[in-house]
Amino acid sequence: MRPEQILVPMPSGLCSKAGGFHIDPTRPVDKALITHGHSDHARAGHGHVLATQETLDIMRLRYGDNFAGSTQAITYGETLKLGDVTVSYHPAGHVLGSAQIAVERKGLRIVASGDYKDVADPTCAPFELVPCDVFITEATFGLPVFRHHDAAGEIRKLLHSVAVFPERAHLVGAYSLGKAQRVIAMLRAAGYDKTIYLHGAMEKITAYYQQRGIDLGPVELVRGAKKAELAGTITICPPTAMSDLWSRRFPDPVLAFASGWMRVRARARQRGVTLPLVISDHADWDGLTKTITATGCSEVWVTHGEEEALVHWAHMQGLKAKPLAIVGYGDEEEHEAESPLPPQSGGEGAEKKEAKP
């Protein structure tokens, strides 16, 4: 049995002919298994979607009730027979509801890990190691310069800055699903108990996290707050909002950005960030390499990111390894993190809309 008889990498995602499904397809398909709710993995328009309840809820929040023809929820650890293969979902530690999908046939197990991280996150279930023969991994931070181990230290850095600049507002750019809520939860863990303000784009997902029992303390929409009231406060917003008209409502804002990309200074400078916070929801280099080793796999497939270095590393460990070059993953972050300006068409309209409180 060759792994390709279970899962075939296609440009549009991973396809299982034997099981009759795709994993995280980047175009509409009949039957989709979704690892997590980020828009580059979870797209609308599939015939049938299998995912964790949280991921289904998040897709519904983002795309509306008709995001798929039909849906089915699966819990972590539950096993399901699909065609000739068996699938099960396991926590990936990436965001709320995120899962790795194990696909098994005749004793050969492939784990498609989606996006994952191997460090603590108070807002989602911790990564679970699933031993396998083939491990399919991302490589968003697949270079040995990416090391994200001290997220708590980064939160201390933010709080120190708030103490040094009580007359300024602190804006923290964070992806609206996962990172925003994690930053809030970590601020709470560090003892920060004041109201944390939110950009409107964070509202629905944050409320959903709270509804799922995750304690985020007092959070409020920033809309309506007066400029003077915002001195000394922390506001979480999408990264693009920081350089937008929207940011003018804040007194001399300190621009922080919570992202693994902030590890590299040029990336932070390009974005005009003055307080980079190295907090990532993806495994860093050590996390990727340790996880691959720990699965005991003999073969590694790399879906997206800095695959060259990771494939090179795997070969040095005597593992079979290949890049899959799946087009379209990493786009949610690219969209939120990389585009310094709104898209050309309609950009002005979008800015103006946000400018009104």
Partner 1 sequence: MNRFAELLDRLAYEPGRNNKIKLIAAYFRETEDPDRGYALAAMTGALTFKNAKAGMIRALIAERTDPALFALSYDYVGDLSETVALMWSAASVSPGAHARAGLSPQGSGEERELMWRGEQRDLFEIPKPERLLRNDPSPTLAEVVETLSTLGKAQLPAQIARWLDVLDETGRWALLKLVTGALRIGVSARLAKTAAASLGDKEPDEVEVIWPGLAPPYTELFAWLEGRSDKPKSSDPAPFRPAMLAHAIEDGDLDALDPADFMAEWKWDGIRIQAVAGRDEHGDMVTRLYSRTGEDISKSFPDLLTSLRQPGAIDGELLILREGRVQSFNVLQQRLNRKTVTPKLTQEFPAHLRAYDLLADETGDLREYGFAERRARLDAFVTKLDDPRIDLSPLVAFTTWDDLIAARADPATGGAGDDADAVEGVMLKRRDAPYVPGRPKGQWWKWKRDPMVVDAVLMYAQRGHGKRSSFYSDYTFGVWNGDDELVPVGKAYFGFTDEELTEIDRFIRRNTVAKFGPVREVTHEADTGLVFEVAFEGLQQSTRHKSGIAMRFPRVNRLRWDKPPREADRLETLEKMLKQGAISTPLDSAKTENQS
Residue list 4-43, contact with partner 1 (CB under 8 A): none
List binders of partner 1 among 261-280 (CB under 8 A).
263-266, 268-269, 272-276
Dist. CA 109–CA 115, nearest whole Å: 18
According to DSSP, the residues that pair with 182 across neighbouring strands are none
77 lines the binding site for partner 1 (CB under 8 A): yes
User: Residue 247 Cβ, how far from partner 1 at the closest point, in Å?
Assistant: 5
Contact segment (CB under 8 A) with partner 1 among 19-27, 31-39, 89-97, 226-234 equals 89-97
| Binding residues with partner 1: total (CB under 8 A) | 75
Dist. CA 312–CA 303, nearest whole Å: 14
Position among 44, 120, 231, 327 found at the interface with partner 1 (CB under 8 A): 120
Contact segment (CB under 8 A) with partner 1 among 6-14, 21-29, 302-310, 321-329 equals 302-310
Buried b (16+ CB within 10 A) or exposed e, 36-74: bbbbbbbbeebeebbbbebbbbbbbebbeeebbeebebb
Give the tokens for residue 31: 């039957």
Q: Are strands 196-198 and 234-237 parallel, antiparallel or unpaired?
A: parallel
According to DSSP, the residues that pair with 85 across neighbouring strands are 82
List binders of partner 1 among 46-75 (CB under 8 A).
none
45 lines the binding site for partner 1 (CB under 8 A): no
CB–CB of 172/277 below 8 Å? yes
List binders of partner 1 among 184-243 (CB under 8 A).
185, 189, 213-215, 242-243
287 burial type by CB count under 10 A (0-12 exposed, 13-18 middle, 19+ buried)? buried
Q: Return the number of the residue (287 or 328) whose C-beta is nearest partner 1.
A: 287
Position among 26, 98, 181, 291 found at the interface with partner 1 (CB under 8 A): 291
Position among 306, 333, 336, 354 found at the interface with partner 1 (CB under 8 A): 306
CB–CB of 1/69 below 8 Å? no
Dist. CA 134–CA 146, nearest whole Å: 24
Position among 23, 59, 110, 124 found at the interface with partner 1 (CB under 8 A): 124
According to DSSP, the residues that pair with 76 across neighbouring strands are 89
Q: Return the number of the residue (30 or 312) whose C-beta is nearest partner 1.
A: 312
Most distant pair of Cα atoms in the chain: their distance: 67
Q: Return the number of the residue (63 or 76) whose C-beta is nearest partner 1.
A: 76
Q: Return the number of the residue (69 or 77) whose C-beta is nearest partner 1.
A: 77
Handedness of CA 128, 132, 136, 141 (dihedral sign): positive
Distances in Å between the Cα of 339 and the Cα atoms of 68, 226, 267, 344 are: 29, 29, 12, 11
Q: Return the number of the residue (68 or 134) whose C-beta is nearest partner 1.
A: 134
Position among 17, 62, 76, 350 found at the interface with partner 1 (CB under 8 A): 76
Q: Return the number of the residue (18 or 264) whose C-beta is nearest partner 1.
A: 264
CA 100, 102, 108: angle at the middle one, nearest 5? 150
287 lines the binding site for partner 1 (CB under 8 A): yes
User: Residue 351 Cβ, how far from partner 1 at the closest point, in Å?
Assistant: 7
Q: Return the number of the residue (45 or 122) whose C-beta is nearest partner 1.
A: 122
User: Residue 302 Cβ, how far from partner 1 at the closest point, in Å?
Assistant: 14
338 lines the binding site for partner 1 (CB under 8 A): no
User: Residue 293 Cβ, how far from partner 1 at the closest point, in Å?
Assistant: 5
User: Residue 131 Cβ, how far from partner 1 at the closest point, in Å?
Assistant: 5
Give the tokens for residue 47: 């015939």
Position among 85, 110, 125, 300 found at the interface with partner 1 (CB under 8 A): 125
294 lines the binding site for partner 1 (CB under 8 A): yes
